[in-house]
Each structure stands twice: as C-alpha cells, then as structure tokens.
Homo-oligomer: A and B are copies of this chain.
Amino acid sequence: MSINTFGHLFRVTTWGESHGPALGATVDGCPPGVPVDAAMIQHWLDRRKPGTSRYTTQRQEPDAVRILSGVFEGQTTGTPVQLMIENTDQRSKDYSDIMEKFRPGHADITYWQKYGIRDYRGGGRSSARETAARVAAGGLARAALATLAPDLQITGYMTRIGPQEIDRERFDWDTITQNPFWCPDAQAAEDWATYMKALRKSGNSVGAVVEVVARGVPAGLGAPVYGKLDTDLAAAMMSINAVKGVEIGEGMGAAMLTGEDNADEIFMGNDGRPVFSSNHSGGILGGISTGQDVVVRFAVKPTSSILKTRQTITKSGEAAEIITKGRHDPCVGIRAVPVGEAMMACVLLDHILLNRGQIGGAVGETRGRIG
C-alpha cells in the first residue's frame, strides 16, 4: 500500500517516472457506455503540455496518450481503462550534476531517506510529470460527466502570482483562455507577464494560487464524515506537487467572520430549488454539496529548482552549494490549473457514482424533497 490510487468507486492509479519509458493512469470503475476516444483525452493533456509558453518548462513532450484497454468500438466497457503516455524527451544528462546533492525544498532528500533510492533523472516519481497522468484520467472523467451530468462545468484559473492578486471586479470567464496564465482578469494577466519576465531573468521562481470552480453540481454529493466532498477535494488538491494549502469557499478567511456574516441565507428559487444569498460555504455544508457552485482554492509553492545559489548537503553529508540548471517552470502554479480541474472532475464523478450506490439516486436526484 504505497497508495498511488485515489477515488472510491472511480479509482485512478497513476504510475511512471519523469524519465522512465512511459507513465500513465490505470482507471478502474469508469461506467460502461461512455463515448470516448484518445482525441477527447488529448484535448485536456494539451492544455497542461510543457513548452507552450515562455512561462513554463521548455521540456518538449508531445504527451500523446494511448488508450490500451477498456474502450471498445468508441465506448467504455466497464473494465479498466489504461491510459499510457510515452516519455520521449528524456535528456537525463541535464541532471547529472545533482546526483549527489539534495535540492533545498525538493523531495530529493525525503525520497532518499525513505526509499534509499536516488532517481536523479528529473525527480523520478516525485516529478510534476506525474500530473500528466492525472490530467489524462481527468479527461476520461470529463467524458463520463458529459454523459452523466451534462450541465456540469469545471473551470480552473489563477488568482495570484506571488504578490499580485486578481481584482474580482474585473473577473471574466472568457478571459481565462486568452492569456498564458489562465487569468480571469486581463489587467492582472498583463502585470503578471511583466513580473514573470523579470523573475525568469533572475533565475528565480514564484508561488501562485489556483481556484477551481464547478458549476451545475447536483445537491447531495458527499459522504460524511470521512469522505465528505470537501475532505476528498482537500486531499485531491493537497496531493498535487508543491501544494501547501487548500481552501473551500471562504477558506482560511472563515476564521475572521462572525456567524451572522458567514451564514448563507436560504430562499426558494423559481425552479423549486433552494437558492442562497451568498456562497461562503463554497457549495458544501456538512460535507455534502448544496447545489451551489463548488469553489476550491489551493496555493502552489515556488518550484525549488532555481538558478539561485543555495546551501545544501550531499548524500555523504558534506556541505555544498547548489544551483539547479535544467528546464524548470518558473511558476509551476500555471501548469497546476489543468491538474486542479482534472482532480475536481475525478472527485465529482466519484461522488456521483458513490451517491448512486449510497442512496440509489440518479444524478441530480436526492431523497429529501423541499417544497
């Protein structure tokens, strides 16, 4: 149980290292009859692909996915779906000078301590390349959601790079795909470009905040008390490389509110469903979805592979200085956006399937009626 699997009914096991022959996702529990082909999954992988802008790693990987099992004549069969991505750009020589030294802030040292193995080729299993497999699995989850819950929409974007946050007043959904930062605020995107240009020149990196919103989520998803929807989202996001904090709705800011301010008041909507005056809860109460937008936010720390000199030690315990050359993301948060979306898709599909098992309800059906 080295736990490379997540999900309860929609179970995703990712495998593969940064510089091995291939990596991928073994997905078990995808419902049968879902129309899907490699191109549909490739669409999402292309969003995460390295080398697409000057703000991400210059590693060139086509990240072409192959479906090796579980799909027959254009639809899923209910058996495991194997999604494989071959590694084609494995220039391991780039990493030869860090074979002995541990990068501060990197998993080098803990993997060595735990496993006694040093896969110096680009971080091995601890590399963010593993997230390509998540995005592939998320693509399959999206295909299943398109069938089961066609009204559901999942969108990720960045709300902060280092010191610079977006202005919510300027928020525009359409802007998100029109800049290399998945930024919903056109002005902020320009500021970030300036900031990042200077940062790259200095060889430094920076952190970021990513927000993922799911609209059209049916009420009733979530398994209290240890498989709550927010619990599973927190685990999903925290498991992404470099994430250090996760928030639902109001998040850490909820600590600053009074009960009076934090209450999302309830009214009856015209469609016979409850509506809320606000969404401090992030669409989740008691671990169960309310039918409002589900809002998750997570902080991505700056990548530890930088051109700045840092103090460290070698495997033999000697003091050393380290500068990490190679092709690294100056703001790894950018490429975390499609990953966060993928995790949201997997978690929501999982809970839709769970809900069927728990209460027998089709998607959007709940057992308790209001009105």
A283-324: CB near B (< 8 Å → 1, else 0) gives: 011111111000000011111111010111101111100000
Closest B-chain residue to A134, C-beta based?
B225
The answer to whether A209 and B162 touch across the interface, beta carbons within 8 angstroms, is no
Tell me which of A24-32, A48-56, A176-184 binds B. A24-32
Q: Is A204 an interface residue (CB 8 A)?
A: yes
Task: Identify which of B21, B33, B115, B264 contacts A105 (C-beta below 8 A).
Answer: B264
Apart from A78-B359, A115-B367, what are 14 other A-B pairs with CB-CB below 8 Å?
A16-B80, A21-B66, A32-B117, A109-B285, A113-B290, A113-B368, A162-B255, A209-B255, A226-B239, A234-B238, A247-B299, A267-B319, A356-B357, A357-B357
Which interface class (under 10, 10 to 19, 20 to 34, 35 or more) fits A? 35 or more
| Interface pair A370/B112, CB less than 8 Å apart | yes
Mark contacts of A265-276 with chain B using CB atoms, 8 A cut-off: 1 yes-contact digit, 0 otherwise. Answer: 111100010101
- In the assembled complex, A223 has its CB within 8 A of some CB on chain B: yes
Q: Report whether A370 and B267 are in contact in the complex, using a CB–CB cutoff of 8 Å.
A: no
Q: Which of B4, B245, B255, B285 contacts A226 (CB 8 A)?
A: B4
Chain B: minimal CB distance from A137 (Å): 12
- Flag the segment in A57-65, A69-77, A185-193 that touches B: A69-77
Chain B residues with CB below 8 A from A288, complex form:
107, 110-111, 113-114
Measured in the bound complex, the distance between the Cα atoms of B207 and A280 in whole Å is 13
Q: Which residue of B lies closest to A303 (CB)?
A: B259
Pick the 9 closest A-B CB pairs, nearest first: A107-B286, A317-B371, A3-B227, A116-B367, A357-B357, A205-B259, A110-B288, A15-B80, A259-B302
Minimum distance in angstroms from A276 CB to a CB of chain B: 8
Contacts of A219 in B (CB 8 A): 110, 113-114
Kindly provide the distance from the CB of A21 to the nearest chain B CB, expressed in whole angstroms: 5
